[in-house]
Chain A
Amino acid sequence: MSEPGGAAGLPGSDHRRGGRVTLVGGGPGAVDLLTLRAWRALQSADVVVADRLGAVGVLDDLPATTDVVHVGKTSGNHPVPQEEINRILVARARAGAHVVRLKGGDPFLFGRGGEELIACREAGIEVEVVPGVTSAVSVPELAGIPVTHRGTAHGVHITSGHGGLDDAAVAVVRENTATLVILMGVSSLSTIAQQALRAGTDPATPVAIVENGSTPAQRVTRTRLDEAAAAAAAEGVAAPAVIVIGGVAADGLLGSVRDGRLAGAGV
């Protein structure tokens, strides 16, 4: 039997019990890559709990009555600890508010959305999850890099680069039949490249690093595995960035025309 577990109830399903939480994937950053459901949830929210990443531009357009709580890391400030975020979600919902937790990308991809979902559920709070456009796929995509492509990559492996790669990720990059996409990997790039090379990966394997994907500040650095760390240092590559390793990262795969569309276009 099916058991949706309250993870994805229908929009506006139940106001009678008062407070509720909607975990919203805000996509890679461009406001018009929010989903319609995300958009509607934000418009009807009493409280929006927001990170530094994702479609933060939408916060400017919220009704003046919406209470925006920033919990992301900003320069000079520590981020709010996860337990505290969970506590804010539960407390505000218990007080009767419709709380939208706006996250970058998809709430379940390294976004610790699962923990927030569980914390709310355990507190008996109604939770709805609105999946988002994940940065792992869309950021390369908008830079002209398809994460799967017939004849080049028959699969994609997506991982966090924090602290280097695990065995599965190393295997993917060595085999080079699937694309490896690394989120949060900029600071570990040197370690990652060394791990891959030590495992016997072709040093000429293409690497692309996309910073500020989907926004007007987007920048793509194309390099190869054995030169990636040096290239990133020379270019001053900084987080947030998505790293793509594999044949699809080669320049010119989809032709020579400039790629992408830029943020906020039209909306």
Chain B
Amino acid sequence: MPENPAAPGAPYPLGLRVTGRLVVVVGGGPVAARRARGLADAGARVRVVAPEVCEELAAAGEVEWIRREYRTGDLDEAWLAHTATGDPSVDRQVADDAEALRIFCVTAGDAEAATAWTPAVARVRLDSPGPPDPGDAGGRSGQTGEEIIVSVHAGGDPRRARAIRSEVQAQLESGTLPIRRVRPRPGADRTAQPATSSGPAVRDHGWVALVGGGPGDPGLISVRGRSLVARADVVVADRLGPRSLLDELAPDVQVVEVGKTAGNHPVPQDEINRILVQHAMAGRNVVRLKGGDPYVFGRGGEELAVCRDAGIETEVVPGVTSAVSVPAAVGIPVTHRGVARGFSVLTGHDALQDARRAEAGDAAAGHAVSVTGGSDHTLILLMGVSRLAETAAALTTPERPAGTPVAVVEDGYGPRRRVTVGTLADIAERAAAAGVRPPAVVVVGDVVRLAPAWRDHPAG
């Protein structure tokens, strides 16, 4: 799209590097405080001239305060002036003095007198994945990150500009704008960082982020996760998770499918580990997009350890776990006051193993979490559909009788969402009759009674 030429008299957008330069702010109210803070954040030497200042400004330690009325001469040495006194005559004086000194002046509330405008600004810091800089108390270092800045001027309507800014900001933060870097970062390998003291070679590598994609709905990935997906050069994806995000990727983003699909075996874990390391070593930024949370049976820990051993910057982004969210999708809270105070998450396979060992007289297995506890103890089985009959039988104990409610939830956040309810005694039969297929989450315990679907159940 061709850029439109500026209309005569419209502001000419320009970025100013104010670091170490004097900027004079005249006025002590909230507007002046906001401007002073923004300038100080950008590294300017800020001098405020005002007989009184608001609380926020008084608390800003990095700002010099001249405690009196403005006088001509206060702008000497300044590179830029801001005036927001609330007194039009003072503001005009400041503007006139600035004009005489040939410096630009932002005049709050008087667009006619102003020679400069402050746009509404959306800015997003895109930090590299990885551990925070040890020298930085507040999180990631400003040096390791890069920033995208969008300035909005909306025809002299600041409220409209702010509204547009907020929307752009939200889209920048949520990764729905194309924020992937196309050109290499300028001077990337010259930037010595304490965080990368493990070796300068790190700078040549891409990063690997293990991102929990949540239960499938593209709106249930975290803002951080979505943003990293938008920045990835390579996405290594499972069959589960928010698959529709893959459709939105730019054509040159490489998608590597490692999940099990009908008729195909999944890629072995060692091979997945190798793929992650290889791409990152080649300088590509990699998102390992997983269903649910990376650490709830996601084998994320193994992937992380392998990448770290290879000296690659890594980050783990937690996700909405299917163990909790999929039951919630059909109205089953996994804990509920007076019904269940704890819950266990297991694979169907492990639950069965525990139960078998207990049955065989293994005392230790007799205390395993799948075996202990009554119907007030919620069990969540992931990957538990294929051997449901055996598992249900094995889970039936004196404390957890055959009448304990069970729900099988398929496709919690997709078009095939369905819940099938029953009891330990009959759930396998009901699931078979309904044609239940994996992936599905199985919930065992009294909390199932809270599901609207239970009301329609014969035992309910």
Q: Which B residue's beta carbon lies closest to that of A108?
A: B333
Taken residue by residue from 22 to 64, chain B's Cβ proximity to chain A (1 for < 8 Å, 0 otherwise) reads as 0000000000000000000000000000000000000000000
Chain A residue numbers with a CB within 8 Å of B227 are 32, 266-267
Taken residue by residue from 289 to 319, chain B's Cβ proximity to chain A (1 for < 8 Å, 0 otherwise) reads as 0000111110111101100110000011111
Q: B259 contacts the other chain (Cβ, under 8 Å)? A: no
Whether the Cβ atoms of A146 and B344 lie closer than 8 Å is no
Q: Which of B310-354 contact A (CB under 8 A)?
A: 315-321, 324-325, 327-331, 333-337, 341-347, 350, 354
How many A-B contacts at CB < 8 Å in the complex? 279
Q: B372 contacts the other chain (Cβ, under 8 Å)? A: yes
Whether the Cβ atoms of A266 and B219 lie closer than 8 Å is no
With the chains together, A23 CA to B295 CA distance in Å?
25
Taken residue by residue from 262 to 302, chain B's Cβ proximity to chain A (1 for < 8 Å, 0 otherwise) reads as 00000000000000000000000000000001111101111
Chain A residue numbers with a CB within 8 Å of B319 are 133
Q: A219 contacts the other chain (Cβ, under 8 Å)? A: no
Q: Which B residue's beta carbon lies closest to that of A259?
A: B131
Q: B173 contacts the other chain (Cβ, under 8 Å)? A: yes
With the chains together, A262 CA to B346 CA distance in Å?
29
Q: A194 contacts the other chain (Cβ, under 8 Å)? A: no
Q: B125: which of A27, A141, A266 is its contact (CB, 8 Å)?
A: A266
Known: A155-B344, A174-B367. A37 touches B219 (CB 8 A): yes
Whether the Cβ atoms of B320 and A133 lie closer than 8 Å is yes
Q: A109 contacts the other chain (Cβ, under 8 Å)? A: yes
Known: A141-B293, A141-B316, A146-B301. A131 touches B368 (CB 8 A): no
Whether the Cβ atoms of A150 and B302 lie closer than 8 Å is yes
Q: A234 contacts the other chain (Cβ, under 8 Å)? A: no
Q: A172: which of B145, B318, B329, B369 is its contact (CB, 8 Å)?
A: B369
Known: A115-B337, A175-B368. A254 touches B308 (CB 8 A): yes
Q: A156: which of B173, B337, B345 is its contact (CB, 8 Å)?
A: B345
Chain A residue numbers with a CB within 8 Å of B347 are 154-155
Whether the Cβ atoms of A33 and B173 lie closer than 8 Å is no
Chain B residue numbers with a CB within 8 Å of A112 are 337
Known: A137-B295, A257-B308. A167 touches B373 (CB 8 A): yes
Whether the Cβ atoms of A147 and B296 lie closer than 8 Å is yes
Q: Which of A218-265 contact B (CB under 8 A)?
A: 253-255, 257-265
With the chains together, A254 CA to B314 CA distance in Å?
12
Q: Which B residue's beta carbon lies closest to that of A169?
A: B342
- Number of residues of chain B lying within 8 A (CB) of chain A: 89
Whether the Cβ atoms of A2 and B330 lie closer than 8 Å is yes
Whether the Cβ atoms of B333 and A35 lie closer than 8 Å is no
Taken residue by residue from 186 to 216, chain B's Cβ proximity to chain A (1 for < 8 Å, 0 otherwise) reads as 0000000000000000000000000010110
With the chains together, A167 CA to B333 CA distance in Å?
21
Known: A3-B456, A4-B331. A141 touches B222 (CB 8 A): no
With the chains together, A169 CA to B376 CA distance in Å?
12
Whether the Cβ atoms of A267 and B368 lie closer than 8 Å is no
Whether the Cβ atoms of A5 and B344 lie closer than 8 Å is no
Whether the Cβ atoms of B214 and A171 lie closer than 8 Å is no
With the chains together, A134 CA to B322 CA distance in Å?
11
Chain B residue numbers with a CB within 8 Å of A254 are 301, 304-305, 308
Q: In the complex, what's the smallest C-beta–C-beta distance from A250 to chain B, in angstroms?
A: 12
Whether the Cβ atoms of A146 and B350 lie closer than 8 Å is no
Most A CB within 10 A of own CB, among B126, B217, B419, B450: B217
Q: A40 contacts the other chain (Cβ, under 8 Å)? A: yes
Q: B224 contacts the other chain (Cβ, under 8 Å)? A: yes
Known: A2-B330, A157-B342. A11 touches B219 (CB 8 A): yes
Whether the Cβ atoms of A178 and B346 lie closer than 8 Å is yes
Q: A35: which of B129, B220, B373, B417 is its contact (CB, 8 Å)?
A: B220
Decide if the interface of chain A is mainly helix, strand, loop or mixed: loop
Chain B residue numbers with a CB within 8 Å of A3 are 330-331, 419, 451-453, 456
Q: B413 contacts the other chain (Cβ, under 8 Å)? A: yes
Q: Which A residue's beta carbon lies closest to that of B339?
A: A114
Known: A32-B173, A172-B344, A216-B138. A134 touches B328 (CB 8 A): no
Q: Which of A136-155 contact B (CB under 8 A)?
A: 137-138, 140-142, 146-150, 154-155
Q: A166 contacts the other chain (Cβ, under 8 Å)? A: yes
Q: In the complex, what's the smallest C-beta–C-beta distance from B446 to chain A, in angstroms?
A: 12
Q: B182 contacts the other chain (Cβ, under 8 Å)? A: no
Whether the Cβ atoms of A7 and B328 lie closer than 8 Å is yes
Q: B139: which of A129, A156, A216 is its contact (CB, 8 Å)?
A: A216
Q: Which B residue's beta carbon lies closest to that of A28?
A: B318
Q: B439 contacts the other chain (Cβ, under 8 Å)? A: no
Q: In the complex, what's the smallest C-beta–C-beta distance from A76 to chain B, in angstroms?
A: 21
Q: B308: which of A140, A175, A255, A262 is its contact (CB, 8 Å)?
A: A255
Known: A8-B329, A146-B301, A168-B377. A257 touches B131 (CB 8 A): yes
Whether the Cβ atoms of B372 and A168 lie closer than 8 Å is yes
Q: Which B residue's beta carbon lies closest to that of A257?
A: B308
Q: B220: which of A6, A36, A147 is its contact (CB, 8 Å)?
A: A36
Q: Which A residue's beta carbon lies closest to that of B215?
A: A131
Whether the Cβ atoms of A159 and B341 lie closer than 8 Å is yes
Other A-B contacts than A167-B372, A266-B140, 7 sampled, CB-CB below 8 A, are A2-B417, A114-B336, A149-B295, A166-B373, A168-B369, A171-B368, A254-B305
22 pairs of residues in contact across A and B, judged by CB atoms under 8 Å: A2-B453, A6-B331, A7-B328, A25-B320, A32-B222, A37-B217, A43-B166, A113-B333, A131-B220, A141-B294, A156-B345, A157-B342, A158-B344, A160-B341, A167-B372, A168-B372, A175-B369, A257-B131, A262-B138, A265-B139, A265-B224, A266-B127
* A residues at B contact (CB < 8 Å): 1-8, 11, 25, 27-28, 30-37, 39-40, 43, 63, 106-110, 112-115, 117-118, 129-134, 137-138, 140-142, 146-150, 154-160, 166-169, 171-172, 174-175, 177-178, 216, 253-255, 257-267
Among all A-B residue pairs, the 4 with the closest Cβ atoms: A159-B342, A138-B318, A5-B452, A262-B139
* B residues at A contact (CB < 8 Å): 124-127, 129-132, 134, 137-140, 145, 166, 170, 173-174, 212, 214-215, 217-224, 226-227, 293-297, 299-302, 304-305, 308-309, 315-321, 324-325, 327-331, 333-337, 341-347, 350, 354, 364, 367-370, 372-373, 377, 413, 417-419, 450-453, 456
